Amino acid sequence: MKQQGYHKRAARRTLALAVAGASMVGLSSVAQAQQTLNIVSWGGAYSMSQEKAYHEPWSEKTGDEIVNIDRSANALAGLRAQSQAGNVTWDLVDMLPADAMIACAEGLVEPLDHDELLAEAPDGTPASEDFVEGALGECFVASIVYSNIVAFNSEMFPEDNQPSTIEDVFDLENYPGQRALMRRPINNLEWALIADGVDRDDVYDMLETEEGIQRAFAKLDTIKDNVIWWEEGAQPPQLLADKEVAFASAYNGRIFDAMVTEDQPFEIIWDAQVFELDGWVVPTGKLDKVRDYLYFATDTQRLADQAQYISYGPARMSSSDMVSTHAEAGIDMMPHMPTYEPNFATAIQKDDEFWADYSDELSQRFDAWLAQ
């Protein structure tokens, strides 16, 4: 992971050259007025995959310059502030559906007419039927399915005793070492309940009850002293690589990236992965500016292309069949996708509505618990 910054910058230079080249082409053809698109995303390997799959071809085609802004983690705050200031500088924002729901309810982002704005599948299926379930919200269009998983550094356990289930993460006796978990209740509470024996279909019903919450915290208590809490998506692979921790919860794509591009000896525990969608919202007033880009970046080919660079599943069914091999490493991407059948067997879908309601209260409780 330490080298990733270097790769990222190298890529940026390449991009800059590509943009410069493309704009020269643009000069001769004068196909379209060039513009600068400020696109907010998550940074790291994920932004890289967007750059390769969407931004580069788009710049080549139109001469537009695309500026990447790594602010998705605080995108809702940023959108609010900008709209309040009456000076919206972001043109397109990559965010989670739960945030998109709130942004939509506050009128910060445009409602989207999916069939009008999005490309059909190659076989003519309208967009609204081609995207996977839950991928299209009132103001939201998903591009990927990603997953929150726990990964481990395989060098830190003997070969005959490698962890494989979420219970193992909570098992300090057989699998000693520090754990790195996200400093938020999301995912951690779900995993705690499952590790404590709750059926995955009952997790969110359980969490609506006081008893369930207490049970989850009690389970987390058992490993609390061995947890380092992370806050940025880039931290877990770094912590794993440095062997600061044995296990780390992470976004599956980041772990994959470290495994493939840096040869890190990481393994993903797919058991009880919490999967979720992620995609675009258009800040209010920006629809006309990004309409063409959005159409382009969400079509079947682009979503399939993105899967060459990062192990996130495309949100379009028509793209799934086109997922092939990793662009550089040449390995088959399918087994690394959250949606791959064997990985998906015990998956949980994150309940956005539950978290929209309870994240304030549970975050506070979680913090209070941490402070104890």
Partner 1 sequence: MAIPSYATRGERIWHYVFLGICALIFLFLVGPLLIIIPLSFNAQPYFTFSQKMLTLDPEGYSLRWYQDFFTSRAWLHAIKNSFIIGIASTILATVLGTIAALGLSSRHMPARGAIMALLISPMIVPLIISAAAMFFFFSKVNLAQTYLGVILAHTALGIPFVVITVTATLSSFDTTLVRAAHSLGANPTRTFFKVVLPLVTPGVVSGALFAFITSFDEVVVVLFIAGPEQRTMPIQMWSGIREQISPTILAVATLLVLLSMLLLTTLELLRRRGERLRGVTPG
Partner 2 sequence: MSDSPAFPLTTADGVPLKVSLRRAVRRSKLKAFLLVSPLLLFLVIAFVMPIIEMLWRSVDNPEVTNHLSRTVAALEDWDRQSLPDEPAFAALAEDLREGQEARNLGLLSSRLNYEQSGMRSAITRTARGLGTMEPPYKEALIDAHARWGELDTWKLIQREATPLTMSYYLMAVDRQLTPDGEIVRAPENQRIHVSLFWRTMWMSLVITGLTLLLGYPVAFLLSNLPLRHSNLLMILVLLPFWTSLLVRTTTWIAILQSQGVLNDLMVAVGVIADEARWQMIHNKTGTIIAMTHILLPFMILPLYSVMKTIPPSYMRAARSLGGRPFLCFRRIYFPLTIPGIAAGGILVFILSIGYYITPALVGGQSGRFITNYIAYHMQTSLNWGLAAAIASILLFVVIIFYLIFNRLIGVDKVKLG
Site for partner 1 in 237-296 (CB under 8 A): 238
Largest CA distance in the chain: 68
Specify the residue, 185 or 313, whose C-beta has the smaller distance to partner 2.
185
Three-state DSSP at 35 gives: coil
- For residue 16, the partner it binds in partner 2, partner 1, none, with Cβ less than 5 to 8 A by kind, is partner 1
**155 contributes a contact to partner 1 by CB under 8 A:** no
| 1 counts as binding partner 1 under rule CB under 8 A | yes
**In the 3-class helix/strand/coil scheme, how is 297-308 assigned residue by residue?**
HCCHHHHHHHCC
Distance CA 7, CA 261 (A): 10
Q: Which two tokens stand for residue 57?
A: 């071809």
- Residue 269 belongs to what H/E stretch? strand 266-281
Q: How far is the CB of 287 from partner 1 (least distance, A)?
A: 21
Alpha helices, DSSP H, located in 242-350: 252-261, 287-297, 300-306, 317-320, 341-344
The residue among 102 and 117 lying less far from partner 2, judged by its C-beta, is: 102
Which of 29, 30, 33, 87 binds partner 1 (CB under 8 A)? It is 87
Q: Which of 105, 46, 101 lies closest to 72 in space, CA to CA?
A: 46
Among 31, 81, 105, 218, binds partner 1 (CB under 8 A): 81
Q: Is 12 in the site for partner 1 (CB under 8 A)?
A: yes
The rounded radius of gyration (Å) of the Cα atoms in the chain is: 21
Q: Report the residue from 22, 37, 41, 44 that binds partner 1 according to the rule CB under 8 A.
A: 44
Q: Does 234 sit near partner 2 (CB under 8 A)?
A: no
- Is residue 103 within the footprint of partner 2 (CB under 8 A)? yes
> Which one of residues 11, 18, 102, 132 is an interface residue with partner 2 (CB under 8 A)?
102
**Residue 361: which of partner 1, partner 2, none does it interact with, CB under 5 to 8 A by kind?**
partner 2
- What sign has the CA pseudo-torsion 55, 80, 187, 356? negative
Contact (Cβ atoms closer than 8 angstroms) between residue 227 and residue 239: no
CA atoms within 13 A on the CB side of 66: 30
Q: Does 17 bind partner 2 (CB under 8 A)?
A: no
Shortest distance (Å) from residue 33 CB to partner 2: 30
Residues at the contact surface with partner 2, assessed by CB under 8 A: 73-74, 76-77, 80, 101-108, 111, 183, 217, 228-229, 242-244, 353, 356-361, 363-365, 367-371
